Amino acid sequence: MLKLGVNIDHVTTLREARYRGQSEGEPCPIEAVRLTEAAGAHGITAHLREDRRHIQDRDIWAIRKAIKTRLNFEMANTGEMIDIATRLKPEAVCLVPEHRNEVTTEGGLDVANQIESIKATNETLRQVGIEVSLFIDPDPEQIEATAQSGSPVIELHTGAFAESYDNETNRSFEIERLIKASEQAHALGLIVNAGHGINYENVQSLFSIPHLNELNIGHSIICRAIAVGLSQATSEMLNKMAAYDTE
């Protein structure tokens, strides 16, 4: 079964647009957790950014308390975030690159050029029972570096695929990159997840990629929820994903 992790960051993006700096407001990320889990999501993803542009500290602790499935805590590889993670104890941490001027995460982590730092973080988190994944581009060097880092999971950055989706030639090229990346990672013993820019239109184009374990999807589901509600939006994505052959 191909699993779905629902990223709820943009629930709080909407809240912060009106209630930034206040201790409460709507919409409520905890309600989003409950609705998506009840609809069948296999996990919840939340990114506590250094600039706190959407998820706030109070949110991540409330999510940790409310969640009944699995928390995938996205974070930068910094001392502050490592400290929070070791106290929060999510089931998984996904290390991502972070830049203050980006709208959202715009590229994969450069594991190869910071492998010693990532090794140290991986060991620190492993000691408290946290699984570590690395958000990387479908690049052979980065996949090899991930295996060397001790991280058991990769999340393939599907942004280039999503951006090229309307161009058949470019789309085919990006899918082939993802196929090769997944095959390489699987051969190295890594679990393969994927995410970024996946939506209801393009998700099934990813089904030619072997060995996928989980897709992490946020923006598209939250957008669809405006029209049909979060429960139905989650169910619709799960229905589209059900045809993936994990063999």
**Residue 105: band (very low, low, confident or very high) from pLDDT cuts 50, 70, 90:** low
What gap in Å lies between CA 182 and CA 147, rounded to an integer? 13
Cα torsion through 116, 121, 124, 128, rounded to 10: -150
pTM for the whole structure: 0.94
What gap in Å lies between CA 41 and CA 207, rounded to an integer? 19
Domain positions in the chain are 3-241
For 37-63, b where at least 16 C-beta lie within 10 A, e where not — what string?
bebebbbbbbbbbeeebbbbeebbeeb
The pLDDT of residue 245 is above 90: no
Report residue 28 as tokens. 């409520």
The pLDDT of residue 104 is above 70: no
Looking at the annotation, which residues are catalytic?
Answer: 47, 74, 196
What gap in Å lies between CA 75 and CA 81, rounded to an integer? 6
Average the pLDDT over 120-140 and give the result: 97
The number of helices, as runs of H, and strands, as runs of E, in the chain is 10, 8
Any idea what DSSP says for residue 130?
A: -
Contact 221, 242 (CB under 8 A): no
What gap in Å lies between CA 134 and CA 148, rounded to an integer? 12
The pLDDT of residue 227 is above 90: yes
Of the listed ranges 107-111, 174-178, 205-209, the one predicted with least confidence: 107-111
Mean per-residue pLDDT of the chain: 95
pLDDT of residue 169: 97
pLDDT of residue 161: 98
Which residues 6+ apart lie within 8 Å of 83 measured at CB?
A: none
Of residues 27 and 103, the one with the higher pLDDT is: 27
What gap in Å lies between CA 143 and CA 238, rounded to an integer? 28
CATH fourth-level superfamily of 3-241 = Aldolase class I (3.20.20.70)
Q: Which residues pair with 131 in a beta bridge?
A: 92
The burial class, CB within 10 Å (0-12 / 13-18 / 19+), for 153 is buried
The pLDDT of residue 178 is above 80: yes
| Number of neighbours of residue 131 by Cβ within 10 angstroms | 18
**Residue 101: band (very low, low, confident or very high) from pLDDT cuts 50, 70, 90:** low
Could you please report the per-residue DSSP string of 179-196?
Answer: HHHHHHHHHTT-EEEEES
